[in-house]
Structures are given as structure tokens and as C-alpha cells.
Amino acid sequence: MQLKDVDISKYDTLLLDRDGTINVHIIGDYVRSWSDFEFIPGVFEALAKFAKHFRYIFIVTNQRGIGKGKYTEHDLADIHARMRAEIENHGGRIDGIYYCTALDESDIRRKPGRGMFDDILQDHPDVEPAKCLMLGDGDVDMEFAKNCGIAGMKVDSVKKENGLYRTVVQ
């Protein structure tokens, strides 16, 4: 299923994975700077559609590369600022970005742990889990949705490995 084909009618809050859902996932490496960031074709149209429907749109993303010293939180802030600006230029919006830099899988904030969702609920007490939808390209995203008690839907992923692109149908 592609992002633009998702039935959103019963939800008012959208949680999105980033790598592989909004931008091309680089296999074996990280998006370290804006020059590495590449939007997935069709994502602007989907996000513009979602912006008209959802009260909130949040990104929840693991960013282990920071914990490994591959890039900095300043680099990530720059990537996210430019990403948001491009999304807004195309009629979409992102209301908040939650990320985890932990290396340890046991960290509750690292997906599939529910810590980033708990942060959203704390920051936005009007968010109702029953009206939340998580979209992501990986099993960890679906496990995250389950751990949060919210709906989850896997979407097609675009991955880049050795300079070649492939679409992974879930």
C-alpha cells in the first residue's frame, strides 16, 4: 500500500515514521545531512491530503546514527527544518517531530518502545489513542503501534542500496 492510498476517515492524529516512509531509506547508512535526504515520490501529495484531514501530524523516528556519532543533533535539526519547509511548500505540515538517539534497544523511547508516544500524549493531552494511526514501512513501526494501543498500517518503502532504488511492497 502506498501512502496516498491510506483510508484515514476514522482517525484525527497521524504518526509517521520518517526513513522509508517520508524519505528514501538508505540501507547500511544514515541520512546525515540535507544532501542525503530524498523525498519518496508521491509523499508531497499524500501529506497535503493528510494536512486537510488530520488535526495533528507527528513524526516518530529512531535516530541511532546520532548515538553512534555519525551526525549530530544540530545536523538532524537542519534536516528536519528543511524537510518541514519543503512539506509546507507543497501544502502539507508536520506538527511535531519526536526522535530517539539511543543505541540500546531496551530504551523505552526507542521504537518499538512507546516512549515517544508517551511524549506526544504529555505534550498534547487532547490526543486520543483510539483516533491515532501510525504509518510506517517496518515491522518495528507496527510493533510500536501495538505497544501504544493504536492502529498501525504498513506502507510501501523506497530503499536505496549501492546507488540503486527499489520499492518494497509490504
What residue spans define the domains of the chain?
3-168
Residue 170, pLDDT > 50, answer no
Give 169's pLDDT tier (boundaries 50, 70, 90): low
**CATH number belonging to domain 3-168:** 3.40.50.1000
With a cut of 80, say whether residue 29 has pLDDT above it. Answer: yes
- Whole-prediction pTM value? 0.92
How far apart are the C-alpha atoms of 12 and 114, rounded to whole Å?
Answer: 19
Pairing of strands 157-161, 164-168: antiparallel
Q: Of the given ranges (34-38, 40-44, 78-82, 154-158), which has the lowest mean pLDDT?
A: 154-158
The pLDDT value recorded for residue 16 is: 98
pLDDT in tens, 47-96: 999 999 999 999 999 999 999 999 999 999 999 999 999 999 999 999 99
Q: Which of 12, 17, 78, 104 is catalytic?
A: 17
Check residue 156 and give its pLDDT: 78
- The reply to whether 104 belongs to the active site is no
- CA–chain centroid gap for 63, Å, is 11
- State mean pLDDT over 31-57: 95
Q: For all residues of the chain together, what is the average pLDDT?
A: 92
Question: Is residue 5 predicted with pLDDT exceeding 70?
Answer: no
Catalytic residue among 19, 75, 137, 141: 19
Among 134, 133, 98, 101, smallest CA distance to 118 is for: 98
Q: What is the pLDDT of residues 130-162, one digit of tens each?
A: 999 999 999 999 999 999 999 999 987 766 776
Check if 137 is active-site.
Answer: no
